Structure 1
Amino acid sequence: MPRLFLSVDMVGSTEFKARFTGQGAEGWLATFRAFFTNFPLMVAGQIGFEFLDDDHTPSIEVWKVMGDEVVFTTEPRSPEEVTSTLLALLRTMRAYEEKHFQELPLRLKGTAWLADVDGPNIVIEIPELSSGQAAHLDYIGPDIDLGFRISKFARPGTIVISLDVLEVILRARNGATTALYLAGREPLKGVLFGYPYPIVWILGAEDKFDFLPWEVEADPRMAAAMTAGPTRLAELKRIIEDMRFYLRKMHGRDRPALKLG
Structure 2
Amino acid sequence: MRKRIITKNTKELYCLFSVDIQNSTKNKYENLFWDNTVYNFYEKIPLHFQALLKEKGSSNILSIWKYVGDEILFYSKIDNISQIPITIQAFKETLEFFSKNSKEFTIKGTAWTAQLNLIDKSFYMNKTNDNDNNTLDFIGPSVDCGFRLSKFASTDFMSISIEILDLCKDDIELQKTFYFLNSEFLKGVNNNERKYPIFLIKLNVNNQQKEDLYLRSPCNYNSLCLFLNEYYDEPTIIKYHWCISRITNSFFSANDINTFKNNTRSFSNITTKDDIQSIKNWFYENFEDPSINCFYDTKHGGYYFSDLNSYGTGHDCSVEIHKHFNNQYNDKTLNKAIEEILLESCCYEWAKK
Asked if TM exceeds 0.5, the reply is: yes
Contact 1:9–1:69 (Cα < 8 Å) also in 2: yes
Matches within 5 A, 1:109-124: 109-124=108-123
- 2:239 counterpart of 1:252: yes
The structural deviation recorded for 1:209 is 5.1
1:76 corresponds to which letter in structure 2? I
2:246 corresponds to which letter in structure 1? A
User: TM-score with structure 2 length normalisation?
Assistant: 0.61
Which one of the candidate residues 153, 172, 175 is aligned to 1:176?
172
**Aligned-pair Cα RMSD in Å:** 2.4
- 2:56 counterpart of 1:50: yes
Counterpart of 2:206 in structure 1 is 210
Unaligned stretches of 5+ in structure 2? 1-11, 253-353
Compared CA separation, residues 224 and 79, structure 1 to 2 (3 A): farther
Matches within 5 A, 1:71-82: 71-82=73-84
User: TM-score with structure 1 length normalisation?
Assistant: 0.80
**CA deviation digits over 1:65-114, x for unaligned, max 9?**
1111111101122333111111111111222233322xx5x421111111
Counterpart of 1:243 in structure 2 is 231
SS in 2 for 1:189: coil
Counterpart of 1:41 in structure 2 is 47
1:46 corresponds to which letter in structure 2? L
The structural deviation recorded for 1:241 is 2.7
Compared CA separation, residues 249 and 126, structure 1 to 2 (3 A): closer
Separation in 2 of the partners of 1:61 and 1:129?
22
SS in 2 for 1:183: strand
Compared CA separation, residues 30 and 78, structure 1 to 2 (3 A): same
Moved more, 249-258 or 183-192: 249-258
Contact 2:81–2:167 (Cα < 8 Å) also in 1: yes
2:179 corresponds to which letter in structure 1? Y
**CA deviation digits over 1:191-247, x for unaligned, max 9?**
1132111111124xxx6453344xx5xxx6x24257x3x20112222332332233x
User: Number of aligned pairs?
Assistant: 234
Compared CA separation, residues 249 and 124, structure 1 to 2 (3 A): closer
Moved more, 88-97 or 135-144: 88-97
Greater Rg over alpha carbons, structure: 2
Which one of the candidate residues 46, 66, 69 is aligned to 2:68?
66
Compared CA separation, residues 251 and 42, structure 1 to 2 (3 A): closer
SS in 2 for 1:120: coil
Separation in 1 of the partners of 2:126 and 2:237?
42
Separation in 1 of the partners of 2:180 and 2:90?
21
Separation in 1 of the partners of 2:200 and 2:164?
11
**CA deviation digits over 1:150-170, x for unaligned, max 9?**
111112143211001111112
Separation in 1 of the partners of 2:39 and 2:65?
17
Contact 1:158–1:201 (Cα < 8 Å) also in 2: yes
SS in 2 for 1:210: coil
% identical equivalent positions: 23
1:153 corresponds to which letter in structure 2? F
1:177 corresponds to which letter in structure 2? E
Separation in 1 of the partners of 2:158 and 2:43?
21
Separation in 2 of the partners of 1:250 and 1:87?
28
SS in 1 for 2:33: helix
Counterpart of 1:23 in structure 2 is none
The structural deviation recorded for 1:19 is 1.8
1:40 corresponds to which letter in structure 2? P
Compared CA separation, residues 34 and 225, structure 1 to 2 (3 A): same
Moved more, 130-139 or 89-98: 130-139
SS in 1 for 2:186: coil
Separation in 1 of the partners of 2:215 and 2:80?
29
SS in 1 for 2:61: coil
